[in-house]
Structure 1
Amino acid sequence: MEALAVRLSGLDPYVDGAMRIVAFYDTLMRRRVDLAALARASAGLAECVAGIRLHGTGRSTRVSPHGTQASTPPAPASTEAPITLDEEEIGTVWLERPGPPNPLDEVLLDRFAIAAAAAAERYGPARTTMADPALVELAVSAESDDAARARALRLLGFAPDLPVHVVAVRTCLPLDRVGTLVCPARPVKAAPLADVGVILATTLDRTGFPAGVRAGIGATDSPDRAWRQARTALRFTSAREPVVHHAELGALALLADIPAEAVRDNPDVTAIARLSPEDLETLDTYCATASVRRAADVLHLHHSSIARRLDHIGKTLTLDLTTPTGLTRARLALTTWRLLDD
């Protein structure tokens, strides 16, 4: 490493210095240094503590300018940069410079992060969540044979003796973030398929889905069957129930197989379409609770207000919502009407 022993303090702060930093890290990458050696070289170049943290392990490496493990308490990072691999953020590199940042710190961190990604991929543990969509599709497609599916799952990092949960997701958040939240223990893989995201995970924490995410969960016996179930369950999600497991739908899952033309011709469903958003929320809450008072508690309204709304809704639907038959018809109509949007 002696040939690489340059210092930022001796570099021109502009183009020449930046080019020498790029050459410095190119040499490190050609020598295939590991993360520990990369941190030592970066700390020596920057003349301050340099650090690396990989999200997959949660561990941090802090090295002093002398090439030893930093013994001082961690200081706030003066500058930092994300480590990105396959368009996924897998960690962070940073400098702990006591004074103001050096003009070349940004260039150094950029190359430091690139070199760290290469080292993590080569030596591990990179543990990226995002996977090749073609490989994920092969694992969940009904057109794949058992041998191809098993090979795809093995390449994705799943052991043959472990169950694989399959989740269909609609979200504006990055899929890798959602995947690590619902399966922090890993392995977990995610990829976009058409307009839906798919997450494959060995374990699944239903409470880990962030707000705003809609998720349908399939069974674990067969990935292709689970994927069909997960997409069906996703259609039954709502603002009140954003995460739905197919197994919990029971006979309600049969509603997803009704042709759209038959749904649109049903008078109960067409009546649902005439309700206002406020009435739809009231009816949905009442169907879920089967109680005027419990619905009032959920909606933070007086029970008499809910009773008046339900009376109005019942007249619009020509149903008596106080009877079991009327409530069942209303729930089926509301659920089936929602399926038209998916």
Structure 2
Amino acid sequence: MEALAERLSQLDSHVQGVVRVVAFYDTLMRRRVDLPALARASAGLAECVAGIRLHGTGWTIRIAPDGREASAPPQPMSLTVPITLDEEELGTVWLERPGSPGALDDVLLDRLALAVASAVERYGPARTTMADPALVELAISSDTDEAARARALRLLGFAADLPLRVLAVRSQAPLGKIGTLICPGRPVKAAPVGDMGVILATTIDPERIPAGVRAGIGAPDSPDHSWRQARTALRFTTRREPVIHYDSLGALALLAEIPQDAARGNPDVVALVRVAARLEDLEILDAYCATGSLRRAADLLHMHHSSVARRLEQIGKTLGIELTEPAGLIRARLALTTRRLIDGWPAAEAGR
């Protein structure tokens, strides 16, 4: 009889534990927390590293019991459970517990997998990089109120309070492919908006942007601010410098604020029209302004430096600028940059 009573007390204790775990995850699901919050809560409850991986996006997170991303190398998974939605396996949740699994680990992971599936269904991240353009536009528009922006970001798979980088892109390559390349293993969304592409990501690797792509990159900020910065940076891109961070522009970003009529009427900018009549001269001037050196410009153009010097002398006379003087070089650089920012810059010149 005493043995039976002991077994019943142990059973009651286990059932109470199961009820507490179920109630814990029911509360999280009612609060509609995102995936990182689910991982943090699970790691704290289990008192060991908890992980979530989504197959379609490659998104993976490992959280230590202290609520931070696990920095130690992954340990063997003591228990894993698949994440399923509509009979499709979306990913996996797991615990990295030293030794044998805990008595309630299977219940914890079952409920975590269910909560993750619910969050993915509600917020994303979806299985594809491409997103609804209307939803992306809602997230980046300066006219969107913060409540609507937060909801759009959740539907896109991003936490509303997480700084995002926005890229403004012009390319013949598929946007989804570019997004996957520059942000591997992390949530990233892309969509065409107006006459350009938009990519949203928490982190990016600019070195992975494919050749032939023009991209302006906004600072990690609210999506509307980052989008405005990205569009500005895109306007400064050239064939030689196809990817520009807004942060790298510094005071040059002020040139984008100059009214178009004022820019068109500036004498140095007007004089560039005469230089642009010979595309070779425009190329020489651009190379010289980019390098600040006759010899480096000649190397860049695969020309003899004496030939470059002769052409620059003639170009300087056309512009009315002494290009070999520091002030003249600055004027030429500013004129070239300002001219590129003017709407209607001829296609043959815009490629430079």
3-state SS in 2 of match to 1:297: helix
Question: 1:161 and 1:202 mapped to 2: Cα distance?
Answer: 11
Corresponding residue for residue 137 of structure 2: 137
Q: What one-letter code is carried by the residue in structure 2 that aligns with 1:314?
A: G
Deviations 1:123-163 (A, max 9, x none): x9962011011111111111112221111111101134543
Corresponding residue for residue 290 of structure 1: 292
Q: Name the CA shift for 1:305/1:197 in 2 (closer, same or farther; >3 Å).
A: same
Give 1:170-181 correspondences, 5 Å limit: 170-181=170-181
Aligned Cα root-mean-square deviation (Å)? 2.0
Tell me how far 1:323 sits from its aligned partner.
0.4
Corresponding residue for residue 185 of structure 1: 185
2:269–2:336: 8 Å Cα contact kept in structure 1? Answer: yes
Corresponding residue for residue 235 of structure 1: 235
3-state SS in 1 of match to 2:285: helix
Corresponding residue for residue 214 of structure 2: 214
Q: Name the CA shift for 1:338/1:155 in 2 (closer, same or farther; >3 Å).
A: same
Question: 1:197 and 1:268 mapped to 2: Cα distance?
Answer: 33
Corresponding residue for residue 316 of structure 1: 318
Tell me how far 1:167 sits from its aligned partner.
0.5
Corresponding residue for residue 342 of structure 2: 340
1:272–1:334: 8 Å Cα contact kept in structure 2? Answer: yes
2:126–2:157: 8 Å Cα contact kept in structure 1? Answer: no
Corresponding residue for residue 279 of structure 2: 277
Question: 1:145 and 1:293 mapped to 2: Cα distance?
Answer: 53
Give 1:5-16 correspondences, 5 Å limit: none
Corresponding residue for residue 96 of structure 1: none
Q: What one-letter code is carried by the residue in structure 2 that aligns with 1:290?
A: G
Q: What one-letter code is carried by the residue in structure 2 that aligns with 1:149?
A: R
Instruction: Pick one of 299, 302, 306 that aligns with 1:300.
Output: 302
Q: Name the CA shift for 1:129/1:329 in 2 (closer, same or farther; >3 Å).
A: same
1:171–1:212: 8 Å Cα contact kept in structure 2? Answer: yes
Corresponding residue for residue 24 of structure 1: none
1:129–1:180: 8 Å Cα contact kept in structure 2? Answer: yes
Deviations 1:160-189 (A, max 9, x none): 454311000111111101111111122110
Q: Name the CA shift for 1:125/1:131 in 2 (closer, same or farther; >3 Å).
A: closer
Q: How many residues align?
A: 226
Question: 2:193 and 2:296 mapped to 1: Cα distance?
Answer: 40
Question: 1:225 and 1:202 mapped to 2: Cα distance?
Answer: 14
2:168–2:198: 8 Å Cα contact kept in structure 1? Answer: yes
Question: 1:214 and 1:283 mapped to 2: Cα distance?
Answer: 22
Corresponding residue for residue 226 of structure 1: 226
2:166–2:226: 8 Å Cα contact kept in structure 1? Answer: yes
Corresponding residue for residue 3 of structure 2: none
Q: What one-letter code is carried by the residue in structure 2 that aligns with 1:331?
A: R
TM-score (norm 1): 0.63
Give 1:1-342 correspondences, 5 Å limit: 56-57=57-58, 127-160=127-160, 162-275=162-275, 276-341=278-343
3-state SS in 2 of match to 1:273: helix
1:219–1:246: 8 Å Cα contact kept in structure 2? Answer: yes
Question: 1:303 and 1:213 mapped to 2: Cα distance?
Answer: 31
Question: 1:326 and 1:126 mapped to 2: Cα distance?
Answer: 53
3-state SS in 2 of match to 1:296: helix
TM-score (norm 2): 0.61
5+ residue gaps, structure 2, are: 1-54, 60-119, 345-352
Tell me how far 1:56 sits from its aligned partner.
4.2
Question: 1:125 and 1:141 mapped to 2: Cα distance?
Answer: 21
- Identity in percent: 69
Q: Name the CA shift for 1:142/1:161 in 2 (closer, same or farther; >3 Å).
A: closer
1:273–1:337: 8 Å Cα contact kept in structure 2? Answer: no
